Amino acid sequence: MEKAAFEGWLESVSTTFLALSDQQRNQSLDHLISLSSASQLRHLSNRLEALLKRDFLRLLPLELAFYLLRWLDPQTLLTCCLVCKQWNKVINACTEVWQSVCQDLGWRIDESIQDATHWKGVYLKAKLRMKQLREEDAFETSSLIGHSARVYALYYREGLLCTGSDDLSAKLWDVRTGQCIYGIQTHTCATVKFDEQKLVTGSFDNTIACWEWSTGAKIQQFRGHTGAVFSIDYNDELDTLVSGSADFTVKVWSLSSGTCVNTFTGHTEWVTKVHLQKSQVESMMHSPGDYILLSVDKYEIKVWPIGREINCKCLKTLSVSEDRSVCLQPRLQFDGRYIVCSSDLGIYQWDFASFDVIRVIKPQQDPSNFSLLSFGEVFALLFDNHHLYVMDLRTEVTVGRWPLPAYRKSKRGSSFLPGVTSWLNGLDGKNDAGLVFATSMPDHSIHLVLWRENG
């Protein structure tokens, strides 16, 4: 057919085709397809693919494409990167998307870093770390050996672990190398706390002592309790030492002179934990910056003001049950905003401004068997007789665990402790290192659980 005749015929057919109903058009196309050879069908397939399979990611404005990508799960995002170079380029340029998926895994986000490739790499590292937690492959263990009698007191600070033992000694260990840095002769230690220059110990002999690391000399002694001293805390800025005892009292001391400044009464059980901390919130009872003392016995947490020792009265008493039917565990945490304590019913969190219970976490297993090690903004570290557990506090789901040996049990909670805890506020690829957990063993050694290097 000549070109002019063909164009006239095509115009006539097109006009007639447009006048047909949808059903008639479909029937006409079906008939033409049945008459077509492979060459026409291949041509038709290529044209249809271009018309029907639109690359929406290429066509959309970048801001709208980023918005849609936020709805995809991380694995789908990684799969989409393989579709084509353009998709890979768009997805790799979306910083907010990769920051969001990292945050979902419990990673801390530095908003100053706006490099999407960086955050994609962080996601892959975070994914691996969370997989290791699930598969009990995130940690490793080691032991510290050197004491000849039971170790009752532990305290961890900046890579160093102090241990106090019934062998009348205290040792300071480098957790990374396992080397003993200092070893000094003391009394029987029920509790210890240290800094670069000194060690403070509370003893079963009812006294408290302050020792100099470099010489091992006793530089101060505090006498006044009539029962074992189970817990101590101190603040050099305030020149204040506080202690909790089996004589049901809390004492406040001058750290430099050893003089007892005040004795707080009101507890009817052993005081197993005392904690000094600045308030970070305001209420009718305290202001930001005020120093606060918390003391804990078997049933109650008492809140005391520090710095107003004359006629000092308890600001508040907190408990889980009014009839004392539920016991508190000596696992107290206070950051100036929230008080967290584990109990036989679960983990309780109080708002320090209002003293209201704002959260109760009840593990799926028997809560009375669980103890709190440390509580963060994203994760909590818990343990029972057999395992360490990492809980995601946003979902209250256990995301990792680690088997524990038959460690030495302590009702006062002094023979086990958490190590580095900054990762509980969000992992960042650097804080998942060092000590996770330490506990004393029946053979007088110290069992350490440490982070394994990621990847």
Confidence of residue 403 (pLDDT cuts 50, 70, 90): very high
pLDDT of residue 51: 65
Every domain of the chain with CATH number 2.130.10.10 lies at 186-328
Can you say whether residue 31 is alpha, beta or left, with left for phi > 0 and alpha for psi between -120 and 50 degrees? alpha
Every domain of the chain with CATH number 1.20.1280.50 lies at 56-135
- Mean pLDDT of all residues in 70-97: 77
| Ranges 50-54, 73-77, 106-110, 310-314, most confident | 106-110
Edge-to-edge strand list for the sheet holding 198-203: 189-194, 198-203, 208-212, 218-222
Say if residues 384 and 340 touch (Cβ distance below 8 Å).
no
- What is the Cα–Cα distance from 199 to 76, expressed in whole angstroms? 54
Confidence of residue 355 (pLDDT cuts 50, 70, 90): very high
Q: Which CATH number among 2.60.120.10, 3.40.50.970, 2.130.10.10, 3.40.50.300 corresponds to the domain 186-328?
A: 2.130.10.10
pLDDT of residue 9: 85
pLDDT of residue 79: 82
pLDDT of residue 212: 95
Query: For residue 43, is pLDDT > 90?
Result: no
Question: What one-letter code names the amino acid at 47?
Answer: R
Regarding pTM above 0.85, the answer is no
Radius of gyration of the chain (CA): 33
- What is the Cα–Cα distance from 278 to 326, expressed in whole angstroms? 29
Architecture, CATH, for domain 56-135: Up-down Bundle (1.20)
pLDDT of residue 309: 57
Query: For residue 285, is pLDDT > 90?
Result: no
